Structure 1
Amino acid sequence: MSILNNEFSIRYVAIGDSFTEGVGDIDADRPNGVRGWADRVAEQFMLADSEALYANLAIRGRLLDQIIDEQVQAAVDLKPNLVSFYGGGNDILRPSTKLDQLLERKGKAFAALRAEGIEVFTFTGMDVRDFNAFKSTRPKTALYNELLREVADENGVHIVDFWRMREFAHPVYFAPDRLHLNTRGHIKMARKVLDVLSDQSVSLEPDALTMPLDILNARPTRMQKVRDDARWAREFVVPWVGRRIRGTSSGDGISPKYPELTRFEVEQ
């Protein structure tokens, strides 16, 4: 698949949850205070194509059914020729999720987008083998990925295979909540996406992708780990549980960053 080298102008719409909204990549100058991989990919489109346009309808905390109900038709209405569609991560964290039914709906959503002549790419879920806090969800994510591959293949949807990107297993790519990518992680993910969408490798802030070995190899002491785990539980787990009990979401009151196709200034 080569989007950057095609002759038509790119009209890119991103739909999904916090992963696509850009949570973890803090930028006070952006709508919702975050940037993220999708913004960074769109910026590269704009640098390559003077008429490229971009919308981002993703909202943090959204379940897959909500993404389908709220964002798929809204994306179609914008008449894009490229859509990214990630959703399901929040569903996997819930014990009662019925993945077969969920992926059946996602397949129908893919079909609806493809029927409009839109190129679509999606993501597998990350392999959480090395993340103790989420390790129990690994079998569920593996099943989700297999079902996703099936419906993606059936509908000609391209896959960015997060599951097989072993380099993301290092915590240096993650925000303090241990769930979302940080700025370094979003930059790396943007490069992965561009590699899938283009026939040629795309340069993207290479200095931000390079880390000294002492950072990569650093391991906290046992006491540091206990303190870090306690702080993480206090600052992130307790509020998450509280939202589940109250039936609220981190996305309540949040609006899409870019609800209409737009352009913005991009530094070369």
Structure 2
Amino acid sequence: MTQPAPGVHVPRVWTRFVAIGDSFTEGMCDDDPTFAHDGEFAGWADRLAAHLSGIASAAGQDFGYANLAVRGRKLADVVGPQLDDALSLEPDLVSIVGGGNDILRPKADLDGLAARLEAAVARIRATGADVLMATPVDPAEAPLVKATRGRAAIHSANIWSIARRNGAHVIDQWGLHALRDWRMWSEDRIHMTSEGHRRVSLAALEALGHTPSEAGWETPLDPAPPISRRDALQANAQWAREYVGPWVHRRLTGRSSGDHRTAKRPDVTPVETD
């Protein structure tokens, strides 16, 4: 076997990838039929798994993937039952993205979230598996959610610190300016479109040390045509009626969009695409 030249970094080839988290990792609003199957959304993690499967195949290795993420879950669920189930699958790579639903709360305990997240990362690393994390997207231009920008920034800084201390990889969504374009987001303005998920999957692949074969994924779209103030106000009012109101009602009644849902891909299985 040919050995790499001294000082040349050779990215690892993973064979068992398990993703845990909330709606972001479940892949909500990515209904690209190339990746979405059996009535479930696809998402960045499914797309990343397809890339990693191709890399493993080229190296002559089998590859398996599980996705245990469920929409609406808070960090306690992600680092608790989801992580227990993930480690029972004996992965060599775990993506763990959580806390987004927690920091929407004004009284979120950011130090407590960071401590729980770091304990989970350390637990994964102790098994010998690698860890992939992700910062939040900068919500500076997001209606209503922009009020959480300070909390999101602190959570992002904590993620980078946790990753440095534990040798984890990080998807830098905060720095991926293309995601600030509302055309990357679905009608609910909370979950990404297929194009947004595609770009995040390539950012994830790069974060893991592999060079994406697709070019231009970091480049923002050309500017969108301007819309009138009246049209913008109407769109915002419709969004508030259709999405904000139901979200607030669920919070007030102690319900979640993920109630009664289970993992879409609970076992490590080969990745298939059309």
TM-score (norm 1): 0.90
Tell me whether 1:12 sits opposite 2:23 in the alignment.
Answer: no
Paired residues of 2:16 and 2:91 also in contact (CA < 8 A): yes
Equivalent residue for 2:184, pick from 163, 173, 177: 173
Tell me whether 1:137 sits opposite 2:144 in the alignment.
Answer: no
* Pairwise CA distance, 1:194: 1.1
User: Match of 1:67, SS?
Assistant: helix
Tell me whether 1:73 sits opposite 2:71 in the alignment.
Answer: no
Paired residues of 2:63 and 2:271 also in contact (CA < 8 A): no
* Pairwise CA distance, 1:44: 1.4
Q: 1:39 to 1:144 in 2, by over 3 A?
A: same
Once residues 99 and 228 of structure 2 are traced to their aligned partners in structure 1, the CA distance between those partners, rounded to angstroms, is 34
Q: 1:50-65 alignment to 2 at 5 Å?
A: 50=57, 51-65=62-76
Q: Alpha-carbon deviations, 1:137-173, whole Å to 9, x = none?
A: 0011111112222222111111111111112111010
Once residues 176 and 205 of structure 2 are traced to their aligned partners in structure 1, the CA distance between those partners, rounded to angstroms, is 15
Once residues 184 and 52 of structure 2 are traced to their aligned partners in structure 1, the CA distance between those partners, rounded to angstroms, is 24
Residue aligning to 2:50? 43
Residue aligning to 1:235? 242
- If each structure's helix is expressed as a fraction of its own residues, which one has the higher value? 1
Once residues 181 and 175 of structure 2 are traced to their aligned partners in structure 1, the CA distance between those partners, rounded to angstroms, is 14
Letter in 2 for 1:113: I
Letter in 2 for 1:157: A
* Pairwise CA distance, 1:117: 0.2
Paired residues of 1:26 and 1:183 also in contact (CA < 8 A): yes
User: Match of 2:95, SS?
Assistant: strand
Aligned-residue CA RMSD in angstroms? 2.2
Unaligned ranges ≥5, structure 2: 1-7
Once residues 128 and 246 of structure 2 are traced to their aligned partners in structure 1, the CA distance between those partners, rounded to angstroms, is 42
Once residues 88 and 24 of structure 1 are traced to their aligned partners in structure 2, the CA distance between those partners, rounded to angstroms, is 20
Once residues 209 and 100 of structure 1 are traced to their aligned partners in structure 2, the CA distance between those partners, rounded to angstroms, is 31
TM-score (norm 2): 0.88
* Pairwise CA distance, 1:67: 0.8
Once residues 197 and 264 of structure 1 are traced to their aligned partners in structure 2, the CA distance between those partners, rounded to angstroms, is 19
Letter in 2 for 1:190: S
Letter in 1 for 2:106: P
* Pairwise CA distance, 1:265: 2.2
Once residues 245 and 89 of structure 1 are traced to their aligned partners in structure 2, the CA distance between those partners, rounded to angstroms, is 18
Equivalent residue for 1:21, pick from 4, 18, 26: 26
The more displaced of 247-256 and 216-225 is 216-225
Residue aligning to 1:156? 167
User: Match of 1:89, SS?
Assistant: coil
Paired residues of 1:32 and 1:254 also in contact (CA < 8 A): no
Once residues 181 and 11 of structure 2 are traced to their aligned partners in structure 1, the CA distance between those partners, rounded to angstroms, is 33
Q: 1:74-153 alignment to 2 at 5 Å?
A: 74-153=85-164
Letter in 2 for 1:21: E
Once residues 260 and 32 of structure 2 are traced to their aligned partners in structure 1, the CA distance between those partners, rounded to angstroms, is 19
Q: 1:257 to 1:185 in 2, by over 3 A?
A: same
Paired residues of 1:12 and 1:42 also in contact (CA < 8 A): yes
* Pairwise CA distance, 1:209: 8.8
Equivalent residue for 2:224, pick from 203, 217, 225: 217
Once residues 140 and 185 of structure 1 are traced to their aligned partners in structure 2, the CA distance between those partners, rounded to angstroms, is 23
User: Match of 1:91, SS?
Assistant: coil
Unaligned ranges ≥5, structure 1: none
Once residues 149 and 221 of structure 2 are traced to their aligned partners in structure 1, the CA distance between those partners, rounded to angstroms, is 30
* Pairwise CA distance, 1:9: 5.0
User: Match of 2:247, SS?
Assistant: helix
Identity of matched residues, %: 37
Q: 1:4 to 1:225 in 2, by over 3 A?
A: farther
Count of residue correspondences: 261
Paired residues of 2:68 and 2:82 also in contact (CA < 8 A): yes
* Pairwise CA distance, 1:4: 8.8
Q: Alpha-carbon deviations, 1:107-127, whole Å to 9, x = none?
A: 100010000001001011111
